[in-house]
Structure 1
Amino acid sequence: MLSKSDALPAPAPEKPKGNGPAAGWQSHVDLRLVALLGVLGVLAAIGAITKPDQFLDVDNVRLILVQSSAIGVVTIGMTLVIIGGGIDLSVGAIVALASVWATTQATQDYGLGGMLFCAVAVGIGCGLVNGVLIAYGKLVPFIATLAMLASARGFAEQMSDGGTQIVEVQAVLDLMAADNRILGVPPLVLIFLGVAALGWVVLNRTTFGRRTVAVGGNPEAARLAGIDVKRQRLLLYVLSGLCCGIAAFMLIALSGSGQNTNGNLYELDAIAAAIIGGTLLSGGRGTIIGSVLGVLVFTTITNLFALNNVQSAVQDIAKGAIIVAAVLIQHQTSRKSSTQ
């Protein structure tokens, strides 16, 4: 057994199958990402045809990016958890609890820094509880995070008394001001891009990322290779909680309030975005870029439906169909790769 997990070598790149330049091209380009870009192109074409004046407007494009930001940050954490072989059903409730706790009058007295610190601390704390219960308490991730979902949502409702807590800190409200944009890009979008970039580096360029893939692919083999599987799982849920805390603060800035209904169904949206982005539900495989594109696909669909006055029930049906199709494609792809 290796004494240091850092000695674990990076997996060798898969050799291209087949002959000719096409095989080499496919080895460098993830066809799933190309497909997602194609889907975004089709959605853009539909929007340009059905509502050209509204959909192609710069303000509408900016709105899509802003609406993608908070759920996008949550999806980055969810992607890492799923790649590590877990699942987190509590992300939406953690966002709600963090947003409510950070907008209490006592917290607002400490200004922007105090609110940000509180939101992040609550997220990390909830993630830590999830990680301890799963990694060391040996609870099934589904059960542990489901319990956190109920507890955090109930605690958020109790703290807010079912009402809306208005933000009075001007520095927080100014984050969404038009004159605060950098090259026309709102700060929330820049935060999303920054978290996504850090997530990509962590997953693809660090030992932590290699350990995550190893634990998700085969926990026993990872343990025999010297990886502390329990600690790795704990850290993954802490990272997910951190992302929830950041997303909670982003929602506070976006809406100017904290509510116990914040983050509603975020767990489903984050899981769906990760899945259609190519993250394998059973763990061991996934991409941050794919998850980002998955978030953009879902947000663009929602925007198109809203512009065309399509009922929210139809939106939910469409999302469900997309999730089922993505999982079926995953199973088909896995079956083909196992037979080759």
Structure 2
Amino acid sequence: MENNKLINRVQDLGALIALVLLVVVISFISPEFRTVDNFLSLLRQSSINGLIAFGMTCVILTGGIDLSVGSVLALTTAICASLIVKGTPVALAMIIALVIGVVFGAISGIFVTKGRLQPFIATLITMTVFRGATMIFMDGKPISNLGSSFLLKFLGKGAILGIPLPVILFIIIFAIFMFALEKTTFGRRIYATGSNWKSAKLAGVNIDRTKIAAYAISGLMSAMAGLILLSRLNSAQPTLGTGYELDAIAAVALGGVSMNGGRGRIWGTFVGVLIIAVLNNGLNILGVSSYYQDVVKGLVILIAVLSDRKR
């Protein structure tokens, strides 16, 4: 019995152990990796994937998946940039982009619940439609010349006490998600829906509403990540967000969240995001081609999913 508890404990902490080992190994290989500037840069880069992965966690906990996050990011960013260029106040343009992100996410949720489509198929459809809509909206060209608004610059490039603002937002939003999923009725409904939706329904949980809310949150997080990218790049690109769903799903899977739903913790996703960031950062420093990096990510997802099935 004690051995089983120890094994389960090690499995629960597997992602954290892997992160520590990864940091130690790469630090040993490359002194450049363990500099303060590099760690701050690593955290800033991880904030984008982190926000998307937090939203993805809610969706996966309900037993779904969201392939449209990158497309939602691209389209909301394009709309925000277009509004700013046309003279809309930056703060208002950002709020509109966030609201649109919620709507786009909810559309995927409606396809899943009311349309009775498999989450993979439903979000594959919205991913394709939103990506095409982005190309049409932007005519395949970037939107630049966004001006010199302090708010726009500060969101992605600003810092407080030497800590980049995206990193601060990443940590604050992580704390909000942890509280919401572990301490609120909504969080319990998310877990109940993914664990056994029939029992949850009998217990009075509105399954459709819970799933739509999860996808809406995913859309909101994608739009927020897009605003940070817009600030950093000072332009919107039609291909922005391509492949971001892979990193988000990898982070969630690495964090120990069951791909079947109903089990996992948001802090695991947080650790998973850092693992992906350390992998990307370390491989870049070591001069490994981006093609090989995609192979590594794919293998990481495979290992995480196989581990989940074994558990």
TM over 0.5: yes
Which residue of the partner structure matches residue 174 of structure 1? 154
Question: Number of residues paired by the alignment?
Answer: 309
8 Å CA contact 1:32–1:277 kept in 2: the answer is no
CA distance in 2, matches of 1:153, 1:275: 25
Which residue of the partner structure matches residue 184 of structure 1? 162
Which residue of the partner structure matches residue 75 of structure 2? 97
CA distance in 2, matches of 1:168, 1:152: 26
Please state if 1:156 is matched with 2:157. Answer: no
> 171, 178, 200: which one pairs with 1:193?
171
8 Å CA contact 1:100–1:165 kept in 2: the answer is yes
Moved more, 54-63 or 94-103: 54-63
Instruction: Give the superposition deviation at 1:30.
Output: 5.1
CA distance in 2, matches of 1:140, 1:151: 17
Which residue of the partner structure matches residue 11 of structure 1? none
Moved more, 224-233 or 164-173: 164-173
CA distance in 1, matches of 2:57, 2:63: 10
CA distance in 1, matches of 2:77, 2:283: 28
8 Å CA contact 2:42–2:278 kept in 1: the answer is yes
CA distance in 2, matches of 1:91, 1:165: 20
Which residue of the partner structure matches residue 42 of structure 1? 21
CA distance in 1, matches of 2:250, 2:20: 19
AA aligned opposite 2:24:
A
Q: Trace 1:55-66 onto structure 2 (pairs within 5 A).
A: 55-66=33-44
AA aligned opposite 1:173:
K
Instruction: Give the superposition deviation at 1:100.
Output: 0.7
| Cα 1:73/1:30, change in 2 over 3 Å | farther
Instruction: Give the superposition deviation at 1:322.
Output: 0.9
Q: Cα deviation per residue 1:13-63 (whole Å; 9 max; x = unaligned)? A: xxxxx359x95xx69x953453222222222222222220x2112111111
TM-score in terms of structure 1 length: 0.86
AA aligned opposite 2:104:
C
8 Å CA contact 2:74–2:239 kept in 1: the answer is yes
Structure 1: give runs of 5+ residues left out of the alignment. 1-17, 334-340
Structure 2: give runs of 5+ residues left out of the alignment. none
| Cα 1:33/1:111, change in 2 over 3 Å | farther
| Cα 1:31/1:184, change in 2 over 3 Å | farther
AA aligned opposite 1:235:
A
TM-score in terms of structure 2 length: 0.94
Instruction: Give the superposition deviation at 1:230.
Output: 1.0
Q: Cα deviation per residue 1:66-99 (whole Å; 9 max; x = unaligned)? A: 1100111010010010001111110111001011
Instruction: Give the superposition deviation at 1:162.
Output: 1.4
Moved more, 304-313 or 37-46: 37-46
Q: Secondary structure of the residue that 1:258 maps to in structure 2?
A: coil
> 89, 96, 107: which one pairs with 1:111?
89
| Cα 1:242/1:130, change in 2 over 3 Å | same
Please state if 1:211 is matched with 2:189. Answer: yes
CA distance in 2, matches of 1:212, 1:176: 31
CA distance in 1, matches of 2:246, 2:147: 31
Q: Which runs of 4+ in 1 moved over 4 A?
A: 105-108
Q: Cα deviation per residue 1:143-184 (whole Å; 9 max; x = unaligned)? A: 11111001111111111221221222422123344xx42222
8 Å CA contact 2:156–2:165 kept in 1: the answer is yes
Moved more, 248-257 or 146-155: 248-257
8 Å CA contact 2:253–2:301 kept in 1: the answer is yes
Q: Trace 1:236-255 onto structure 2 (pairs within 5 A).
A: 236-255=214-233
Which residue of the partner structure matches residue 237 of structure 2? 259
8 Å CA contact 1:108–1:169 kept in 2: the answer is no
AA aligned opposite 1:31:
V
8 Å CA contact 1:107–1:118 kept in 2: the answer is no
Please state if 1:296 is matched with 2:274. Answer: yes
> 34, 48, 60: which one pairs with 1:70?
48
User: Quick one: percent identity of the two aligned structures?
Assistant: 35
CA distance in 1, matches of 2:182, 2:97: 28
AA aligned opposite 2:25:
I
